[in-house]
Amino acid sequence: MRRKGFLIVLSGPSGAGKNSVMNAVFPTIPNLKYSVSVTTRPPRKGEVDGVDYFFRTEEEFDELIQQDKLLEYATFVGYRYGTPKDFVMEQIANGNTVIMDIDIQGASQIRQKMPEAVFVFLLPPTRAELEKRLTLRGSDAQGEIAKRLQKSWEELQHVVHYDYFIINDELSRAAEQLRNIILSESSKVSRIDLAELQSLWEGRG
Amino acid sequence: MRRKGFLIVLSGPSGAGKNSVMNAVFPTIPNLKYSVSVTTRPPRKGEVDGVDYFFRTEEEFDELIQQDKLLEYATFVGYRYGTPKDFVMEQIANGNTVIMDIDIQGASQIRQKMPEAVFVFLLPPTRAELEKRLTLRGSDAQGEIAKRLQKSWEELQHVVHYDYFIINDELSRAAEQLRNIILSESSKVSRIDLAELQSLWEGRG
């Protein structure tokens, strides 16, 4: 039976493990699509343009805003991030589930434009564990880590605006929880075509 | 971390497989409790008082109503069914998940009293399949099956008042879906103690 597609918005402190959790879930759910963000941040080692992000200049980013091509955009630690609108809308129209990984500012804009989206907050088990992960990653200077930790604490206050929260104490368990949420949301009555359901059930479909 | 308990209300036509699906889910979820209903219907073969139902006389049922001991009650094909209130409230207060299997009249009463409960509608794949299951069960006379089929069609119109729906075309898949819903609902932000979450995260808990 055909169901309406929907958008999953995943937020959480830098270092919470958003990418690892999403990567673990992708192979297990058909019709799950990743919304690639646009950013003015320079690529980290190993990041590929068009796969991890669309890496754009400040001028190119301004142009996307002016052409109303972004569903949301926000600034985080000096760099801008945004979500290309067309991709998300097309996938949802085709009945697919789209997942995106954005900060709380971006999530807040999405909430206003698409209140029917599903908002998930991913949290590392403790502040100490988060600090360890950020340090181990080695991609940020010490001053930047301190900034990110402070930001994380502020972000945690916004969990109340999210639908679900997941504590990433163990990757496989966190991924299973995200998977449960996506599958469960697919069973929402609000996402089915009731006329089609009744017709199928009567055997006239 | 401590989470608030909640109530799952499972409805669906007689013969949809509510008991089979619940039985398959129980061993897989800790803290899931079954709310045993009270009924004036005579026991079917193999049914045990206090396990499948509390079997009570009409007079005893009246008394439960008068003492305000029922969370809801309704009449279905000539018999009365009700939900003992104390058990449900105690389990939820203790952080457990309670599941109950009630018809749409009872579910509607629950929805008014406990809008925060989770409402799931279970559906057999087709009307023809439902008729087959009811006939195979052999516990109902042919006239009663016709009555139940008509009732089922009327009930299907109420799916719009439920949060989730599951098509029971294959028991293991339907049980997996119910399990996903229960686990996913446990991850709802509305069911956590935010002060406790923040305290744990800061390492002060």
Q: How far is B119 from chain A (nearest CA, A)?
A: 10
Task: Give the pLDDT confidence score for residue B204 in this predicted structure.
Answer: 56
What whole-number distance in Å separates Cα of residue B22 and Cα of residue B99?
A: 8
Q: What share of chain B is helix, strand, coil (3-state, %, to 5)?
A: 50, 25, 30
pLDDT at A199 over 90: no
Q: Phi/psi of residue B50, each to 5°?
A: 90, -10
- The residues pairing with A80 across neighbouring beta strands, listed in sequence order, are A75
Task: Give the pLDDT confidence score for residue A127 in this predicted structure.
Answer: 80
Confidence of residue A124 (pLDDT cuts 50, 70, 90): confident
Task: Give the pLDDT confidence score for residue B134 in this predicted structure.
Answer: 81
pLDDT at A139 over 60: yes
Strands (E), chain A: 6-11, 32-34, 37-39, 53-55, 70-76, 79-84, 97-101, 118-123, 164-167
Residue whose C-alpha is closest to residue B165's, from A198, A174, A31, A114:
A198
Contacts of B196 (CB under 8 A, 6+ apart): B1, B2, B205
The angle formed by the CA atoms of residues B110, B111 and B117, to the nearest 5 degrees, is 85
Task: Give the pLDDT confidence score for residue B205 in this predicted structure.
Answer: 43
* Residue A101 domain-assigned (yes or no): yes
Cβ-in-10-Å burial (0-12, 13-18, 19+) of A1 comes to exposed
Q: Is the dihedral of CA B30, B106, B144, B146 positive or negative?
A: negative
Quote the DSSP letter at residue A29.
Answer: S
Q: What is the pLDDT of residues A58-86, one digit of tens each?
A: 999 999 999 999 999 988 789 998 999 98
Which member of A128, A177, A184 has the closest CB to residue B181?
Answer: A184
- Long-range contacts, A67-76 (Cβ 8 Å, 24+): A70/A38, A71/A109, A71/A110, A71/A113, A71/A114, A72/A102, A72/A106, A72/A107, A72/A109, A72/A110, A72/A113, A73/A38, A73/A106, A73/A109, A74/A102, A74/A103, A74/A105, A74/A106, A74/A109, A75/A105, A76/A103, A76/A105
- Digit-by-digit pLDDT tens for chain B (205 residues) are 778 899 999 999 888 899 999 999 999 999 999 999 899 999 999 999 998 899 999 999 999 999 999 999 988 789 998 999 989 999 999 999 999 988 888 899 999 989 999 999 999 888 888 888 888 877 677 788 888 888 888 888 899 999 999 999 899 999 999 999 999 999 999 988 888 887 877 765 4
Task: Give the pLDDT confidence score for residue A205 in this predicted structure.
Answer: 43
Mean pLDDT of A86-107: 91
Q: How far is B39 from chain A (nearest CA, A)?
A: 29
* Residue B63 domain-assigned (yes or no): no
Tell me the chain A residues in contact with residue B183 when contact means C-beta distances shorter than 8 Å.
177, 180, 184
Contact A166, A119 (CB under 8 A): no
Q: What is the pLDDT of residues A20-35, one digit of tens each?
A: 999 999 999 999 999 9
Q: How far is A149 from chain B (nearest CA, A)?
A: 11
Domain count, chain A: 1
* Residue B11 domain-assigned (yes or no): yes
What whole-number distance in Å separates Cα of residue B82 and Cα of residue B71?
A: 7
- The residues pairing with A6 across neighbouring beta strands, listed in sequence order, are A97
* Residue B26 domain-assigned (yes or no): yes
Task: Give the pLDDT confidence score for residue B155 in this predicted structure.
Answer: 83
What whole-number distance in Å separates Cα of residue A10 and Cα of residue A5?
A: 16
Task: Give the pLDDT confidence score for residue A9 in this predicted structure.
Answer: 96
- Residue A14 domain boundaries: 6-35+96-202
Tell me the chain A residues in contact with residue B121 when contact means C-beta distances shorter than 8 Å.
189
The enclosing domain of A16 has a CATH number of 3.40.50.300
Confidence of residue A197 (pLDDT cuts 50, 70, 90): confident
Quote the DSSP letter at residue B117.
Answer: S
* Residue A76 domain-assigned (yes or no): no
Q: Which of A16-25, A104-113, A133-142, A179-188 has the lowest mean pLDDT?
A: A133-142
CB pairs under 8 A between A and B: 91
* Residue A148 domain-assigned (yes or no): yes
Confidence of residue A198 (pLDDT cuts 50, 70, 90): confident
pLDDT at A204 over 70: no
